[in-house]
Structure 1
Amino acid sequence: MAEAHQAVAFQFTVTPDGIDLQLCHEALRQIYLSGLHSWKKRFIRFKNGIMTGVYPGSPPGLVVVLVGYMSSTKYAQLDPTLGLFTKLGAHLPVSKYMSDDSQHVVGGVLVGTGLWVTVIFIMRNALKSLLSWHGWMYNPHGRMSIRTSIWMVLVRLFSGRKPMLYSFQSALPRLPVPAVKDTMTRYLESVRPLMDDEKYTRMEGLAKDFEKNLGPRLQWYLKLKSWWASNYVSDWWEEYIYLRGRGPIMVNSNYYAMDFLYVFPTHLQAARAGNAIHAIMLYRRKLDRAQIKPIYLLENRVPLCSAQWERMFNTSRVPGQESDTIQHEAESKHITVFHRGRYFKVYVFYDGRLLLPREIEQQMERILADKSDPHPGEHTLAALTAGERVPWANARTEYFSRGKNKQSLDAIEKAAFVVTLDDTEQRYDTANPVESLDSYAKSLLHGKCYDRWFDKSFNLIVFKNGTMGLNAEHAWADAPIVGHLWEHVLSMDPVNLGYAEDGHCKGKMHPNLPGPQRLQWDIPEECQNVINSSLNVATALADDVDCHIIPFSDFGKGLIKKCRISPDAFIQITLQLAHFRDKGKFCLTYEASMTRLFREGRTETVRSCTQESCAFVRAMMRDETREEKLKLLKEAAEKHQSMYRLAMTGKGIDRHLFCLYLVSKYLGEESPFLKEVLSQPWRLSTSQTPVQQVALFDLKNHPEYVSSGGGFGPVADDGYGVSYIIVGEDLINFHISSKRSSPETDSHRFGTKIKQAMRDILELFQLDKKNVK
């Protein structure tokens, strides 16, 4: 049933009277509509390229400048070229071919255009200079200095009108390279609470030697790169942290995003997929047209870099021997759907338009009704993307470079994204909250190790009971980018698109819609052995992951704000207290911070285990007075905020050290200091999932209508991964991961410590108990 409907443009038969051509008008119509759609898309991209290229100016602004300039020069009887044509006439016979009026018009256009380009250049560089100032970050909460107010007025003046997604790219400043001395000072300060006096004295000696000898030489090369490249970190970060990793990307790199926690819009799997796929494709259309609004900070005044959006769709990670590559297609009109071991190619456009939700549901229903068996090796094929990268690279070259295997693999890798119609049921169960959420998280993170195409930019996973989620590959972009898409989907699904009373998508089925195409494979036994080997590696990794989710509803950021403390700092200090109670020691702690204030910025590390946070934790472990604990808590929170600001403004520690290390390797220089620094494990890796489009959700009245966040695997074998999302005023969801094989970690035990630490820290403020749920 799900084999493709093969529309043929024409057929011919040979008869005694000659050749009889039979044109298929429907096929020709579809060809015409497809071509029309492609040309419209090219025109929109061309137009958007012009609009972005001249921003903060605009083509209408050029018309105004030309009319104004030419009118003023004609009224004042001035030569608009300021004598340029007169000088050219001495060398070129300009006057022979152009009348005085023609020379006036042409000269006015040339000079007016030059004036317009000059104004744009000045405005853009003025805006870049303004955006290089970050003093606004240091204003007290709720108050704004006169200097910041003046700065905001100037930013608004030079920012132009109606910016599109990529309008600010050329006006964003470049990521600065910190001074070696400053990085050494900050690094030593960050490791001081983690080392005894003897180890610290040794590390201090290594740092001072590096700062005096090798450091300045490496810094010179890094400065040279920063002047030449758009961003001195991002390309190396993508290549060496992500693409050159030879281990499995499942669990180790890929991450997940969850559905609503308490809302179940429909129980029909095909219907939920229909609305979600349609919403995702609407987002892609807005992205192609650059109609997504830029992301801002500080009252919609400070734009963030939008470069990571470029590879969201039609993108796949391709395995290689030494390094993977990211393959991005400019256009894709289909998605790939996995169900019960079979792969289907589903076109999401017909009649020159995007399929409606009910029509997409119709396609999903056809796939669910298909009872055909998988081809040999097809059922667990995706395990290749879950295991080690080198066996996958070899198998791809050997078995998937020709014939039907290549065609089918292309259909997956060139799809807009991959959909898995999962045959399991996942959902938050109030009768069994712990096990149901843990199972849900593990399913999104790794599934059965062969039912997600982990190389794809993202997989939409729709479970049998209508719950859904995402699994995303990390190399092409960071989690907030995928989170922005996911917020759009969740806000569109139950409210804007909705469902009929029977749970189906609204609308009608299409009577002539061609069915999905079943992908064909010819996988030899040797390749099946490689698949099974990768599956064994991936299964062992997945079985070792211990996931635990805590919907913490005792209180949220509403009460934390009453404590006059940053919610993120509160949670980070909580994690320090919980970790010390769990393991009896402090550890190197990673908190992800963005650097998208700069062009092509990605992330920086906030080393949130500080001397101040350690002092507070020790005070909590001793019988100190409440006043002393509060004093140390506020000092720790202020230190955390300071570290976060430094990371955001390009003055972090770890990306600078990472790039210095790479330069040393390129030069063939050995640095004991850099080697030791980059070998230190992050035993506590943390990240906050921000709610970026608050206007899409009524969080005050319906905090349940927002994603419950997402999570990732542990970075260290004996460490924890913790992701958290602050939902509305009264809910914080924690996603914890660790490895069962480590005797030092237990995700559920750590979750209990986090909940207790949250309560203990809030108790210090002695707020009105009636405010606490």
Structure 2
Amino acid sequence: MATRQLLLRRAAAAAAAPRGRRGYGSTAEYLHRSIVPTMHYQRSLPRLPIPKLEDTIRRYLNAQKPLLNDDQFRKTEELAHRFEKGIGRQLHEQLVAQDNQNKHTSYITGPWFEMYLKAREPVVLNFNAFMSFHPDPKSEYNDQLIRATNMTVSAIRFMKTFRAGYLEPEVFHLNPKKSDTELFKKLIRFVPSSLSWFGAYMVNAYPLDMSQYFRLFNSTRLPKLNGDELYTDEKAKHLLVLRNGNFYVFDVIDRDGNMLKPSEIQAHLKYILSDNSPVPAFPLGYLSSENRDTWALLRKNLLDNGNEEALQKVDSAIFCLSLDDFPVKNLVHLSHTMLHGDGANRWYDKSFNLIITKDGTAGINFEHSWGDGVAVLRFLNEVFKDSIGEPAVSPLSQPASVDSSRAVQKLDFTLNDALKAGITKAKQNFDTTVETLTVDMIQFQKGGKDLLKQKKVSPDAVAQLAFQMAFLRQYNQTVATYESCSTAAFKHGRTEAIRPASIHTKKCSEAFVKEPSKHSTEELQKMIVECSKYHGCLTKEAAMGQGFDRHLFGLRYLALSKAEDLPATKRASSNRGGDLCQSKAKLLKRAGTPA
């Protein structure tokens, strides 16, 4: 059993790791044709465990030790143990019972979706994340039109491969010589889906959850009052392209379900890039950066004002391709461009925006409620490898001789005074918010992950330790920090939190920052090793669903859903201790709300 747990941990920790694949472009329509159907393992994936309450309380208290003085910690410890023996025990038992009645999913799925979709803050900076692509190694392919065409074609290939069930399942192979072979794949495909995970487990292979992948395409987060909705229309065949704040759509899939020829896609994109239409006086893109309730009311106004068909085109598009009319100056500029851009040339509610700048720099900005980085990273890696390995067009390619003026539709929106005022206000809010963001960087050239691995310490642990040291140096204190860890080794797993601040990082940071001369090099190195080992334990626990954040979040969600039974949780108190139930609610809120 212990061995199985260790192997599961390794599989979970590898959930977000980049992976390679073979068999690019088996046809023009698909990236490859997997022997094993894409969702073959999904039905038999193990379920996300609910930690023991006593383990959650212990882990929570361990995370508080570096943050509190002795008196504060004693009060927190007393409060935590009262919670464990009292209302916390009741809530935990209810959560376990509820989980046993919903074995088709995980205990965190419903609350986690609701947490994202009920949040009223703008998605920009608060939720949407970005990933950037490396440049194409062949410099002549980093032309905006060429790269946009190649990446669009590769993205459509990915979509078609996934929907046909040909996309290779996401599997972590501990012994690839046994499990990542043609023979094993030919055998495992005949094992029933209800047992397939166990068949993979027998040869140390660990399939990962792929339930989020279908939301990659034709999906949009729709603003609604008090809680948004996720919308997906897999029948739509068109691409949404934004340029200079203008909206364009054209079909990339024909009526028979086949992808348009790359030369035709290239021709349509060339037509859009040659359009000299100025930025609209009231760019609609800003609305998707607004407070969600404000945006919901403005969207209703848009619908009532005759824009239903145009909005349907936006919402149902396969994805959004944003073509920016400027080159990227440096990595700081790249971060700003991909994380938020100018607000006019993005539709932040789409499942993702594929962004390509004038010099061919590319990245993805993705809406976070529908899924996590695992699916997006797989998509990014596959698109990059396919677009550079089997590019659909080259610098010598000629766009097809087609009438793009008929194929490409420019969307027009009818705006009344209230909508114009709403867009103006949204732009002001966007600009004010973006101005609060500072991004800066230095590139450290004297070492990296290879050096750290040689010293047998985790690069991730050292990076987290560096954050602790930097904050201590600047603010003279240790604070709680958050690192996300995928739980994709389990059915409908999302993420668990790693809390890198520990008594080990605090001790090590203070030694380096406050009194380095009092310690020998060997002593300092030993402290780093201790930090690395402890961080490794936290990571393994989190990957196995054995953190404390998600458990406490689930308990808090349950408590709030039964608020009528816990009237004290509604009361506000300026007293540091507060009443007992009040303080327990604060404990849940403090530890359970994701960073």
Is TM-score (shorter-chain normalized) higher than 0.5?
A: yes
The question of 1:565 aligning with 2:454 is answered: no
Is residue 461 of structure 2 the alignment partner of residue 587 of structure 1?
no
In the aligned structure 2, how far is the partner of 1:531 from the partner of 1:163?
49
1:109 equivalent in structure 2: none
The separation in 2 between residues aligned to 1:363 and 1:162, in whole angstroms, is 35
Question: How far is 1:568 from its partner?
Answer: 2.0
Superposition deviation, residue 562 in structure 1: 1.1
Aligned partner of 1:329 in structure 2 is 233
Are residues 533 and 212 of structure 1, via their aligned partners in 2, closer, same or farther at CA, if it must alter by over 3 Å?
A: same
For residue 672 of structure 1, what is the aligned residue in structure 2?
A: 582
Q: In structure 2, what is the Cα distance between the partners aligned to 1:296 and 1:648? A: 15
- Given that 2:8 and 2:489 are in contact with CA atoms closer than 8 Å, whether structure 1 keeps it comes out as no
Paired position in structure 1 for 2:554? 659
Counterpart in the other structure of 1:164: 37
Shift of 1:570: 2.6
1:39 counterpart residue number: none
How many pairs are equivalent? 520
**Paired residues of 1:286 and 1:292 also in contact (CA < 8 A):** yes
Query: In the aligned structure 1, how far is the partner of 2:522 from the partner of 2:583?
Result: 40
Residue pair 1:268, 1:466 contacting (<8 A) in 2 also: yes
Task: Specify the alignment match of 2:311 in structure 1.
Answer: 409
Counterpart amino acid of 2:106? N
Structure of larger gyration radius: 1
Give the letter aligned to residue 393 of structure 1.
A
Aligned to 2:220: 316
The equivalent of 2:59 in structure 1 is 186
| Aligned counterparts of 1:508 and 1:527: Cα–Cα separation in 2 | 38
Q: Structure 1 pair 625/444, CA: closer, same or farther in 2 (3 Å)?
A: same
Cα 1:137–1:327, aligned 2, differ >3 Å: closer, same or farther?
closer
Asked whether the 8 Å contact 1:270–1:362 carries over to 2, the reply is no
Shift of 1:545: 0.8
Q: Separation in 1 of the partners of 2:385 and 2:292?
A: 36
- Following superposition, the deviation at residue 581 of structure 1 comes to 2.2
State the match for 1:601 in structure 2: 493
Give, in angstroms, the shift of residue 137 of structure 1. 6.3
**Residue in 1 that maps onto 2:85:** 212
Match among 360, 365, 381 for residue 284 of structure 2: 381
| Correspondent of 1:437 among 315, 326, 331 | 331
Cα offset, 1:567, TM superposition: 2.4
Partner of 2:264: 359
1:134 matched to 2:5:
yes
CA 424–660 in structure 1, closer or farther in 2 if over 3 Å, else same? same
Cα distance in 2 for residues equivalent to 1:132 and 1:226: 26
Aligned equivalent of 1:349, options 236, 242, 253: 253
Contact 2:355 2:364 in 1 (8 A): yes
**2:301 is the counterpart of 1:398:** yes
1:482 to 1:401, Cα distance in 2 relative to 1, 3 A = farther
**TM-score normalized with structure 1 length:** 0.64
The answer to whether the Cα contact below 8 Å between 2:60 and 2:591 also exists between their aligned partners in 1 is: no
For the residue of structure 1 that corresponds to 2:230, the secondary structure is strand
Q: Secondary structure, in 3 states, of the residue corresponding to 1:459?
A: strand
Tell me by how many angstroms 1:162 deviates: 4.2
What is the root-mean-square deviation of aligned Cα atoms in Å?
2.5
* Structure with the larger RCO, 1 or 2 (CA within 8 Å, 6+ apart): 2
| Separation (CA, whole Å) in 2 of partners of 1:259 and 1:419 | 14
Secondary structure, aligned partner of 1:461: strand
Q: Distance in 2 between matches of 1:279 and 1:318?
A: 27
TM-aligned CA deviation for residue 672 of structure 1: 3.4
Shift in CA distance, 138/655, structure 1 to aligned 2, threshold 3 Å: closer
Q: Residues 603-642 of structure 1 correspond to what in structure 2 (within 5 A)?
A: 603-621=495-513, 622=515, 623-642=518-537
Work out the CA distance in 1 between the residues paired with 2:87 and 2:338. 45
Alpha carbons of structure 1 residues 571 and 265: separation in structure 2 relative to 1, 3 Å: farther
CA, structure 1 residues 508+384, in 2 after alignment: closer, same or farther (shift >3 Å)?
closer
Q: Secondary structure at the match of 1:485?
A: helix
Tell me, yes or no, if structure 1 residue 531 matches structure 2 residue 435: no
1:519 and 1:486 map into 2 onto residues whose CA distance is 28
Structure 2-normalised TM-score?
0.82
Map of 2:14 onto structure 1: none
After TM superposition, give the deviation of residue 311 of structure 1 in Å. 0.8
- C-alpha contact (below 8 Å) 1:348/1:360 kept by paired residues: yes
Aligned to 2:141, the other structure's residue is in SS state coil
Change (3 A) 1:635 1:398: same
In 2: Cα distance, 1:284 partner to 1:550 partner = 37
Where 2:414 maps in the other structure, the secondary structure is: coil
Alignment partner, residue 467 of structure 1? 361
1:246 aligns with 2:138: no
1:509 aligns with 2:376: no
How big is the shift at 1:356?
3.0
Tell me the CA shift for residue 270 of structure 1.
1.9
> How far apart are residue 271 of structure 1 and its match?
1.9
Unaligned runs of 5+ in 2: 11-33, 177-204, 570-580
SS at match of 1:321: coil
Look up the SS of the partner of 2:249 in the other structure.
strand
Corresponding residue to 1:257 among 131, 138, 142: 131
Counterpart position of 2:379: 485
Residue 274 (structure 1) aligned to one of 149, 166, 186: 149
SS of residue matched to 2:439: strand
CA gap of 1:590–1:533, structure 2 versus 1, over 3 A, is: same
Counterpart residue type for residue 199 of structure 1? Q
Q: Specify the code of the residue in structure 2 equivalent to 1:330.
A: E
- Show structure 1 runs of 5+ residues with no match: 1-129, 140-160, 428-435, 686-714, 716-773
How far off is 1:528 after superposition? 0.8
Q: Secondary structure at the match of 1:177?
A: coil
Q: Distance in 2 between matches of 1:134 and 1:356?
A: 48
Q: 1:25-44 to 2 correspondence within 5 Å? A: none
Code of the aligned partner of 2:532: A
Indicate if the aligned counterparts of 2:246 and 2:345 stay in contact, CA closer than 8 A: no
Distance in 2 (CA, whole Å) between partners of 1:236 and 1:132 is 32
Distance 2:165 2:308 in 1: 33
Asked whether the 8 Å contact 2:59–2:548 carries over to 1, the reply is yes
Offset at 1:640? Answer: 0.9
State the alpha-carbon separation in 2 of the partners of residues 385 and 530 from structure 1. 11
Q: Identify the match of residue 542 of structure 2 among 647, 651, 654.
A: 647
The yes-or-no answer on 1:422 pairing with 2:328 is: no
3-state secondary structure, aligned to 2:76: helix
Q: Which has the higher strand share?
A: 1
Q: What amino acid is aligned across from residue 245 of structure 1 in structure 2?
A: A
1:196 to 58, 69, 74: 69
Q: Secondary structure at the match of 1:326?
A: strand
State the shift of 1:319 in Å: 0.4
Contact 2:35 2:166 in 1 (8 A): no
Superimposed CA distance per residue, residues 635-680 of structure 1 (whole angstroms, 9 cap, x where no aligned partner) = 2211111111111112110000011111111121224344333554
Q: Deviation per CA, 1:719-759, whole angstroms, max 9, x where unpaired?
A: xxxxxxxxxxxxxxxxxxxxxxxxxxxxxxxxxxxxxxxxx
Matches within 5 A, 1:88-99: none
Equivalent residue letter for 2:298: A
Kindly provide the CA deviation profile for residues 272-315 of structure 1, in whole angstroms up to 9, marking residues without a partner as x. 21111111101101111122222223345111111111211000
TM-aligned CA distance change 1:642 to 1:681, over 3 Å: closer
Report if the CA contact (8 A) 2:245-2:285 is conserved. Answer: no
**Structure 1 residues 203 and 261, CA gap change in structure 2 (3 angstroms):** farther
Q: What residue is the counterpart of 1:174 in the other structure?
A: 47
Q: In the superposition, relative to structure 1, how do residues 577 and 376 fare at CA in structure 2: closer, same or farther (>3 Å)?
A: closer
Q: Following the alignment from structure 1 to structure 2, what is the Cα–Cα distance between the partners of residues 462 and 470?
A: 9
Tell me, yes or no, if the aligned pair for 2:310 and 2:413 is still in contact at 8 Å: yes
